[in-house]
Amino acid sequence: MTSSLFEQVQQALAPAAGEPDVAHGVLVLNIESAAVAATAKALQEQFGFDMFLDVTAVDWPERAPRFDVVYHFYSTRDHVRVRVKTRVPESDPVVDTLVPLYGSARYMERECHEMYGIVFRGNDDLRPLLLYEGFVGHPLRKDYPKQREQPLVPYRK
Amino acid sequence: MTTTGNVATTPPRGPAFEYLTTKKDEFVGWARKFSLFPYPFVTACCGMEFMSVSSTPYDTDRFGAALPRFTPRQSDLLMVVGTVSHKQAPVLKRVYEQMCEPKWVMAFGACATSGGFYQNYAAVAGIDKIIPVDIYIPGCPPRPEMVIDGIMKLQDRIAAERHPIINKDF
Amino acid sequence: MNTANTTLANPIRAAFDKGSVPGSVIVSIGPSHPATHGTIQIIAELSGERLVRTDVHCGYLHRGFEKECESHTWHTLIPYTDRLNYCSGLINNFAYCEAVEKLMGIEITPRCKYLRTLLTEYSRISDHLTCVAAGLMELGAMTAFLYLVMLRDYIYEHLANLTGARLTYSYGRVGGLACDLPDGWLKRLGEILDQMDTFVDRVHGLVDRNRIFIDRMRDIGVLTTADAISYGFTGPILRSTGVARDLRKDTPYLAYPELDFEIPVGIKGDNYDRYYVRMREMDESRHMIRQLMEMLPEGPINVDDRRCTLPEKHLVYNEIESLINHFKLVMEGPQVPAGEVYSAQEGPNGELGFYIVSIGGGIPWKVHCRAPSFVHMGGVHLMLDGYQLADVVPTFGSVNMIGGECDR
């Protein structure tokens, strides 16, 4: 039953890819960055993926579109997960926001933005969430050195 | 007690005065060490051990250090429990500055002492970079017995300090 | 020595700095809370005692978990996973190890599977004890707090007997566990469970039908199911709204398919339901542990796979292959094939997921933790807005925000 659902999803949303790519029980869809909002909407309305689990990014500094933006969705009815992956370049790291569809998108997109610099078009509240005002840079990018601290309070002595 | 070029400002004190000061310091030190009002500045995992050490069977109440005061204006022992990140640092400094003298600071746990194993952009590598610390309790998290040992050492230190209460000499 | 007044930097920017209602005041609640909540700052607009709107700021405990993981081997980052949800450290260990095992294609041994399930439920009890105890203490029920923390202390000492640490265990390993059960451990476990029955009953007696408790918790912090799912709530909070969604039943893992247990659900999604769901979940966990104690098979706890399991010490000292294997595993880490995986378990707060990307080799490319508390922070304002200032305390306590997990 799960595999037929995956086939339907694959057919509807990424028909060019052919066979559904199921990695460890999760269907993986690779789509264009412009199609993110439409894909998420279709997943939510047509296929019942009503819970937005996570959005994060992966930094591949050697590759041409540098960032992979990775979304995970879960269906509480069918108990399956789907992973949606898209690629954005470093010069224009913009994807559409999912805030109109899911309430949880606000905070998760804020975190992804401050850590990697991915801009979510349409999310007007991209203030730093885990980091602080005045932090320069995006720490989870591979070119940010791990030990570079930006203290807010000057050190004693 | 004169410095070069300055007129001596303190008249010589006799042994009777020194005896009184010492006895007064012992008495005030005894009173202060057994009535510590901690401000538990709890951030992370060490907070769980702080909860354990305040309850049975380890109980800091028998050392007089159980009753937390959650406002810095009324407390004298700032227990920094857990990792302090750079985002939290201004908050810690403000809380420390709001406390009145005499005050002591306890760095509870490896993260407060030295940053622990978080040597990266986010964590302050030890709170003594921001505020002066009187006693460090290592451990990740420290066992409650270690915390009690730390409190007792701090109490010994408080007992041995000078406690000027009227002016800077007495 | 105090220097002159220097202005300290403000680490956040609030979403609003003017009131929307005439006569309202903007207050900052936090980030240095009384002992239990860790560090969250709630910028609240108060009209009298009523909260008009809130802006929740987390991140005061951001310790750079993901960045640290990128410079450690697959094994040496296990202590960092402990400190995510530090109230139930074992569950984080096992969720991470399961993700890596999926990538490597390793099947854990039966004894390890049952033991991991048993310890997962044990950790879940410890987390729920902490949450309920802290919540009750903040309402003034010191006796209940002391009972539950005493029970939790028994669990800590018992787990220290097994793993060596009271709180941050680092006990899971890729392919198994660090060590097997010592003698008498299961007997002591039975004793602790019996003590727990007695004392949890006493707490029920003190609190459940207590007029003050009901007044403070019933119909406060109500969350509807639709809102909960839209805002990504999972775990006891979602179950308190009335839906029986639990990863242990929906997508079973470890030994859960063979266990007989129920999923407690609430009726209204308010604070009282969340408290009661957690108490009932502790009962179910104890029931599961008793079943697992009977079912635990004999056998090795580590899978016999030299890609991840350290060889026996006597072999390391006598055979060159074992020595080199040990050396490579320690210095370079287990070699995990390239790929990515998302693996989730039911943590005490909800769906705890690990998204791992590997490029081959012993060091991960990315380890991302999908922390339930972080996602819940996005929806906490639904439970706070419109209620009174004093309701922030029990509501926030019932959400069980664990700073290490929220801020990673």
Which residues of chain B make contact with A147, given a CB cutoff of 8 A? 119-121
A124 lies within 8 A of chain C by CB: no
In the predicted model, what is the mean pLDDT of chain C? Answer: 89
Residue C42 pairs with which residues in a beta bridge?
C29, C56
Question: Is 90 exceeded by the pLDDT of residue B58?
Answer: no
Residues C83-103, mean pLDDT to the nearest whole number: 92
Cβ neighbourhood burial of C197 (10 Å; 0-12, 13-18, 19+): exposed
| Domain-located, residue B136 | yes
Residue C25 pairs with which residues in a beta bridge?
C46
**What DSSP element (H or E) covers B16?**
helix B15-33
What is the pLDDT, as a whole number, of residue A76?
87
What is the pLDDT, as a whole number, of residue A63?
87
Whether C107 and C116 have beta carbons less than 8 Å apart is answered as no
Which residues of chain B make contact with A144, given a CB cutoff of 8 A? 121
What is the pLDDT, as a whole number, of residue A157?
67
Q: What is the percentage of chain A residues whose pLDDT exceeds 90?
A: 27
Q: How far apart are CA B169 and CA C48, in angstroms?
A: 49
Q: How far apart are CA B42 and CA C38, in angstroms?
A: 6
Alpha carbon distances (Å) from B74 to A91, B39, C131, C142, C384: 53, 9, 27, 22, 29
| Domain-located, residue B94 | yes
Min Cα separation B23/chain A (Å): 35
Residue C259 has phi, psi (to 5 degrees) of -100, 155
Q: How far apart are CA C241 and CA A103, in angstroms?
A: 17
- pLDDT bracket for residue C36 (50, 70, 90): low
A139 lies within 8 A of chain C by CB: yes
What is the pLDDT, as a whole number, of residue C325?
92
Min Cα separation B1/chain A (Å): 27
| Domain-located, residue B29 | no
Which residues of chain C make contact with B47, given a CB cutoff of 8 A? 35-36, 38
Residue C292 has phi, psi (to 5 degrees) of -65, -35
| Domain-located, residue B114 | yes
> Does residue C187 sit in helix, strand or coil?
helix
Residues B25-45, mean pLDDT to the nearest whole number: 90
Residues B56-66, mean pLDDT to the nearest whole number: 83
Cβ neighbourhood burial of A90 (10 Å; 0-12, 13-18, 19+): middle
Q: Which residue has the higher pLDDT, C320 or C11?
A: C320
List, in sequence order, the alpha helices (H) in C208-296.
211-217, 225-230, 236-240, 247-250, 271-295
Cβ neighbourhood burial of B58 (10 Å; 0-12, 13-18, 19+): middle
Q: What is the percentage of chain B residues whose pLDDT exceeds 90?
A: 36
Q: How far apart are CA A33 and CA A86, in angstroms?
A: 5
What is the pLDDT, as a whole number, of residue C193?
94
Tracing tokens 């007792």 back to the chain, one arrives at B152
Question: Is 90 exceeded by the pLDDT of residue C195?
Answer: yes
| Domain-located, residue B14 | no
pLDDT tens-digit series, residues B80-134? 999 999 998 998 999 999 999 889 999 999 999 998 889 989 899 989 899 999 9
Radius of gyration of chain A (CA): 17
| Domain-located, residue B11 | no
Inspect the interface and report whether the beta carbons of A76 and C245 lie closer than 8 Å. yes
Whether C334 and C307 have beta carbons less than 8 Å apart is answered as yes
> Does residue A53 sit in helix, strand or coil?
strand
In the predicted model, what is the mean pLDDT of chain A? Answer: 87
- pLDDT bracket for residue C22 (50, 70, 90): confident
Which residues of chain C make contact with A146, given a CB cutoff of 8 A? 64, 67-68, 70-71
- The strand pair at C25-29 and B135-137 is best described as unpaired
Tracing tokens 């209204």 back to the chain, one arrives at C268
| Amino acid letter, residue C177 | L
Inspect the interface and report whether the beta carbons of C15 and A125 lie closer than 8 Å. yes
Residue C215 has phi, psi (to 5 degrees) of -60, -35
> Residue B76: which of B92, B63, B65, B84 has the closest Cα?
B65
> Residue B42: which of B6, B12, B80 has the closest Cα?
B80
Which of B57, B121, B140 minimises the CB distance to C168? B140
**What DSSP element (H or E) covers C345?**
strand C339-347
What is the pLDDT, as a whole number, of residue B12?
65
What is the pLDDT, as a whole number, of residue C198?
93
| Amino acid letter, residue B48 | M
9-28 of B, contacting A, C-beta below 8 A: none
CATH number at B81 reads: 3.40.50.12280
Which residues of chain B make contact with C12, given a CB cutoff of 8 A? 87
Q: Is the peptide bond before B141 cis (omega within 30 degrees of 0)?
A: yes
Whether C356 and C367 have beta carbons less than 8 Å apart is answered as yes
Inspect the interface and report whether the beta carbons of B117 and C79 lie closer than 8 Å. yes
- pLDDT bracket for residue A17 (50, 70, 90): low
Q: ipTM of the assembly?
A: 0.92
Alpha carbon distances (Å) from C129 to B168, C145, C156: 50, 9, 12
Which residues of chain A make contact with B92, given a CB cutoff of 8 A? 153
What is the pLDDT, as a whole number, of residue B79?
92
Q: Which residue has the higher pLDDT, B56 or A100?
A: A100
Q: How far apart are CA B155 and CA B104, in angstroms?
A: 10
Min Cα separation B116/chain A (Å): 14
Which of B45, B56, B143 minimises the CB distance to C86? B45
Q: Is the peptide bond before B40 cis (omega within 30 degrees of 0)?
A: no
Residues C51-74, mean pLDDT to the nearest whole number: 90
Alpha carbon distances (Å) from C304 to A6, C112, C144, C178, C320: 35, 12, 46, 14, 18
| Domain-located, residue B22 | no
B101 is in which domain, residue-wise? 38-160
Helix, strand, coil share (%) of chain C residues, nearest 5:
50, 10, 40
B87 lies within 8 A of chain A by CB: yes
User: Among A2-6, C164-168, C392-396, C398-402, which is the least confidently predicted range?
Assistant: A2-6
Count of the separate structural domains present in chain B? 1
Residues C164-182, mean pLDDT to the nearest whole number: 91
B128 lies within 8 A of chain A by CB: yes
Domains of chain C, each with CATH number or no CATH: 65-370 (1.10.645.10)
List, in sequence order, the alpha helices (H) in C21-141.
65-69, 78-82, 89-104, 110-139
- Subunits next to B (3 or more Cβ pairs <8 Å) are A, C
Residues C272-287, mean pLDDT to the nearest whole number: 93
Min Cα separation B56/chain C (Å): 6
In the predicted model, what is the mean pLDDT of chain B? Answer: 86
What is the pLDDT, as a whole number, of residue C91?
94
Question: Is 90 exceeded by the pLDDT of residue C8?
Answer: no
Count of C-beta atoms within a 10 Å radius of residue A106: 20
Whether A75 and A49 have beta carbons less than 8 Å apart is answered as yes
Residue A51 pairs with which residues in a beta bridge?
A74
What is the pLDDT, as a whole number, of residue B166?
80
Alpha carbon distances (Å) from B11 to B5, B25, B169: 17, 21, 11
| Domain-located, residue B68 | yes
What is the pLDDT, as a whole number, of residue A6?
78
Which of C15, C341, C375 minimises the CB distance to A108? C375
Question: Is 50 exceeded by the pLDDT of residue B147?
Answer: yes
pLDDT tens-digit series, residues A41-97? 888 888 888 899 989 999 999 888 899 999 999 998 888 899 999 999 988 889 999
What is the pLDDT, as a whole number, of residue C17?
73
What is the pLDDT, as a whole number, of residue C1?
39
What is the pLDDT, as a whole number, of residue B9?
57
- The strand pair at A94-96 and A119-121 is best described as parallel
H helix count then E strand count, chain C? 17, 8
Q: Which residues contact C192 (CB under 8 A, 6 or more apart)?
A: C151, C154, C155, C158
> Residue C363: which of C100, C105, C178 has the closest Cα?
C100
- pLDDT bracket for residue A149 (50, 70, 90): confident
Residue C35 pairs with which residues in a beta bridge?
none
Q: How far apart are CA C178 and CA C159, in angstroms?
A: 13
Which residues of chain B make contact with C10, given a CB cutoff of 8 A? 90
Domain ranges of chain A: 2-121
Question: Is 90 exceeded by the pLDDT of residue C211?
Answer: yes
| Residue environment code for A29-55, b if the CB has 16+ CB neighbours within 10 A, otherwise e | bebebebbbebbeebbeebebbbbbbb
Whether C155 and C192 have beta carbons less than 8 Å apart is answered as yes
What is the pLDDT, as a whole number, of residue B161?
85
Q: Which fold has domain A2-121?
A: Beta Polymerase; domain 2 (3.30.460)
- pLDDT bracket for residue B168 (50, 70, 90): confident
Whether C271 and C217 have beta carbons less than 8 Å apart is answered as yes
Count of C-beta atoms within a 10 Å radius of residue B138: 15
Question: In terms of CA atoms, which chain A residue is nearest residue C57?
Answer: A129
Q: How far apart are CA A103 and CA B12, in angstroms?
A: 74
